[in-house]
């Protein structure tokens, strides 16, 4: 249970009864999809009791504001830093310096604005209940980190990625994937299986760009992967509901 609380405290602002134990950090990665379900459940609950009473665009912005607050902007910060680094078209070392800089550049600001507008508009435009994408997107977004951590090389020996790969055994990987499938299919039905295509494609594309440009992944790229996956799930659900309803 301590590993789950470690994951929850790292990925969200939610206070937890955390006591540091050896190995809890490396084991915490297997609980990332479960943390996504906690986030999604809180978003769906908020939408049920408050956001649904407002017009679509106000509803979308309120949900997105809570979404960012719950995560402390952790993944959004990675998205902006990745946009700044890769958008600079500088050599490898300079790109890494830009990504580590606490200041946000023009490319990061533009990327954040476009991403938030995309998410809010997808939420505002989706017909029918929003609890399905609100549950699925955070779960799949955090499940996307598992194949990225397991199969793609981390750039340095320190940083947030240190030790996480060792905690992903075949059994824990399979269990986390089964959990993600159950949540996805349980909420969205069989068409929810299409959601899993998004993170797999993004891991391949970002992995290729990371190896070519930097030689491996950084913590910022993990955050960018989560944000891109969540946005992709929201957009795909909008398309599916438009076509299937």
Condensed to tens digits (0 to 9), the pLDDT of residues 109-118 reads: 999 999 999 9
In a domain, 140, yes or no: yes
List pLDDT tens digits, range 46-90: 999 988 899 999 999 999 999 999 999 999 999 999 898 888 788
Paired strand residues for 154: 217
What per-residue confidence (pLDDT) applies to 159? 59
Q: Which residue has the higher pLDDT, 199 or 242?
A: 199
Does residue 22 belong to any structural domain of this protein? no
Provide the pLDDT confidence category of residue 160 given band limits of 50, 70 and 90.
low
Tokens matching residue 222: 């993990």
pLDDT digits (tens, 9 = 90+) for 85-110: 888 788 888 888 888 877 888 899 99
Tens-digit pLDDT profile for residues 206-225: 988 888 888 888 889 999 99
User: Bridge partners of 217?
Assistant: 154
Indicate whether 47 belongs to any domain. yes
pLDDT at position 19: 65
Percent of the chain with pLDDT over 90: 58
Mean pLDDT for the chain overall:
89
Whether residue 86 is contained in a domain is answered as yes
Report the alpha-carbon distance of residue 160 to residue 95 in Å, rounded: 19
Spatial distance between the Cα atoms of 7 and 139, rounded to a whole number of angstroms? 13
Res. 157 pLDDT band, cuts 50 70 90: low
Which residue is it, tokens 């604005």? 113
Query: What phi and psi, each to the nearest 5 degrees, are found at residue 76?
Result: -65, -40
Q: Is residue 21 part of a domain?
A: no
Q: Is residue 135 part of a domain?
A: yes
Judge whether 24 lies within some domain. Answer: no
Q: Which of 127, 143, 145, 126 is nearest to 234 (CA)?
A: 126
Task: Classify residue 141: in a domain, yes or no.
Answer: yes
Q: Does pTM surpass 0.75?
A: yes
**Residue 132 near residue 184 (C-beta atoms within 8 A):** no
SS3 for the chain is CHHHHHHHHHHCCCCCCCCCCCCHHHHHHHHHHHHHHHHHHHHHHHHHHCHHHCCHHHHHHHHHHHHHHHHCCHHHHHHHHHHHHHHCCCCHHHHHHHHHCCCCCHHHHHHHHHHHHHHHHHHHHCCCCCHHHHHHHHHHHHHCHHHHHHHCCECCCCCCCCCCHHHCCHHHHHHHHHHHHHHHHHHHCHHHHHHHHHHHHHHHHHHHHHHHHCCCECHHHHHHHHHHHHHHHHHHHHHHHHHHC
Enclosing domain of residue 65: 2-15+29-244
**If you average pLDDT over residues 139-159, what whole number do you get?**
84
Q: Express each pLDDT in 123-134 by its tens digit.
A: 999 988 899 999
Band (pLDDT 50/70/90 cuts) for residue 244 is low
Query: How many domains does the chain divide into?
Result: 1
């Amino acid at each position: 249970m301590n590993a789950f609380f470690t994951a929850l405290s790292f990925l969200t602002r939610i206070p937890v009864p955390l006591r540091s134990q050896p190995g809890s950090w490396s084991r915490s990665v297997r609980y990332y999809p479960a943390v996504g379900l906690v986030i999604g459940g809180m978003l769906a609950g908020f939408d049920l009791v408050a956001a649904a009473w407002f017009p679509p665009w106000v509803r979308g912005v309120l949900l997105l504001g809570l979404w960012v607050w719950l995560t402390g902007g952790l993944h959004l910060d990675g998205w902006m830093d990745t946009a700044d680094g890769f958008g600079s078209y500088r050599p490898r070392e300079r790109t890494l310096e830009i990504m580590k800089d606490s200041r946000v550049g023009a490319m990061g600001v533009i990327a954040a604005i476009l991403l938030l507008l995309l998410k809010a508009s997808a939420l505002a435009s989706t017909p029918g209940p929003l609890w399905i994408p609100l549950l699925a997107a955070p779960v799949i977004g955090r499940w996307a980190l598992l194949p990225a951590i397991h199969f793609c090389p981390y750039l340095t020996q320190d940083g947030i990625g240190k030790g996480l790969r060792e905690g992903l055994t075949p059994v824990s990987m399979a269990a986390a994937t089964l959990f993600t499938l159950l949540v996805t299919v349980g909420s969205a039905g069989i068409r929810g299986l299409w959601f899993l295509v998004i993170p797999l494609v993004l891991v391949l594309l970002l992995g290729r760009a990371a190896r070519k440009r930097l030689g491996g992944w950084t913590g910022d790229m993990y955050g960018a992967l989560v944000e891109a996956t969540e946005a992709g799930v929201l957009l795909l659900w909008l398309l599916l509901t438009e076509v299937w309803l």
